[in-house]
Amino acid sequence: MVETCLFPAAGYGTRFLPATKAMPKEMLPILTKPLIQYGVEEALNAGCRTMAIVTGRGKRSIEDHFDISYELEHQIKDTSKEKFLTEIRNIMETATFSYTRQKEMRGLGHAILTGETLVGRNPFAVILADDLCFSEGEGVLTQMMRIYEKYRCCVVAIEEVDSHEAHKYGIIAADVIEEKIFRVKDMIEKPQKEKAPSNLAIIGRYILTPDIFNILRTTKPGINGELQITDALLELAKLGRVIGYKFEGIRYDCGSIDGFVRATNDFYQRMQK
Ligand code: UTP
């Protein structure tokens, strides 16, 4: 059982400036819910009960969001507006939240390493809240849990991308082992189009085994001078211990304006149905 889900949420979100100057990117809403709440709901549905959030300066509102607001509770108690808090109250009752701060934003790998103190020596899930996943059936992380149960090694969610988009992702080279399931042989972070080993990109969902922390400790900074989780995972991939899973569902890159607008439109359309 994977008990903890880690949310690296310390990035600057520069693509959303000035909105993200004083507000975390993870708190941007799709309709009425902040991105990170969608992520927490997906983790809860997948059986995780501990939400471990790596924050940074200016991210206090994430902690406040998952805490009681006495004044607000008092104001709307027994009014018709109380129903708007039902979902978030349920989350707060079911999940435990813990936080640590990444002091310097040295990349996703470094954010995950910063989360070690919250995760301990157990396998854990990782959700990047700005990758918002929607599926008609089981959530993406729930699907991945099943793969983890079977293979007992790291699992990364993958999707096909156009070759001109490869430079935005970690791209894998892999052998098919079952329908939608791949054994990763190689991976490269943000390759140029010509250097991409395939069109299979890693998106913001991972299940990681705790040996990743020791590897991260010795991984050198990679592209953009950042500590890349892809570079660390490559060590485990070489041992055959990384599975790529082509998930069922839609991923919206809500860290980009296009993806954010698309998610907003699609969620609005679904709400109207
Ligand atoms: P991104 O590169 O998408 O986020 O990192 P960013 O840096 O905040 O966005 P831009 O490019 O400036 O607009 C992917 C995820 O990793 C987290 C981010 O918060 C995001 O969820 N992250 C990234 C950290 O927590 N720490 C880091 O040092 C870097």
**Which sequence spans correspond to the domains of the chain?**
4-272
Instruction: Report how far ligand 1's centroid is from the alpha carbon of 45 (Å).
Output: 24
Distance CA(267)–CA(265), nearest Å, equals: 6
Residue 130 has pLDDT above 90, yes or no: yes
Instruction: Report how far ligand 1's centroid is from the alpha carbon of 78 (Å).
Output: 40
pLDDT score of 7: 98
Number of H helices, E strands in the chain: 10, 13
Please write the tens of the pLDDT for every residue from 36-48: 999 999 999 999 9
Residue 273 has pLDDT above 90, yes or no: no
Structure tokens at 240: 């055959």
Mean pLDDT, the chain, integer = 96
Distance CA(255)–CA(130), nearest Å, equals: 5
Closest residue CA from atom 1 of ligand 1: 11
Residue 264 has pLDDT above 90, yes or no: yes
Average pLDDT of 152-159?
Answer: 98
- Residue pair 154/125 in contact (Cβ under 8 Å)? The answer is no
Place 190 in a pLDDT band, splitting at 50, 70 and 90.
very high
Average pLDDT of 196-204?
Answer: 97
Instruction: Report how far ligand 1's centroid is from the alpha carbon of 168 (Å).
Output: 12
Closest residue CA from atom 2 of ligand 1: 11
pLDDT score of 197: 95
Output the ligand 1 site: residues, CB below 6 A. Answer: 8-15, 25, 54, 102, 105-108, 110-111, 128, 130, 255
- Residue pair 123/243 in contact (Cβ under 8 Å)? The answer is no
Place 73 in a pLDDT band, splitting at 50, 70 and 90.
confident
pLDDT score of 20: 94
Instruction: Report how far ligand 1's centroid is from the alpha carbon of 226 (Å).
Output: 11
Residue 1 has pLDDT above 90, yes or no: no
Does domain 4-272 correspond to CATH entry 3.90.550.10?
yes
Query: Mean pLDDT lowest for which of 54-58, 82-86, 216-220?
Result: 82-86
Please write the tens of the pLDDT for every residue from 231-240: 999 999 999 9
pLDDT score of 92: 95
- Residue pair 35/129 in contact (Cβ under 8 Å)? The answer is yes
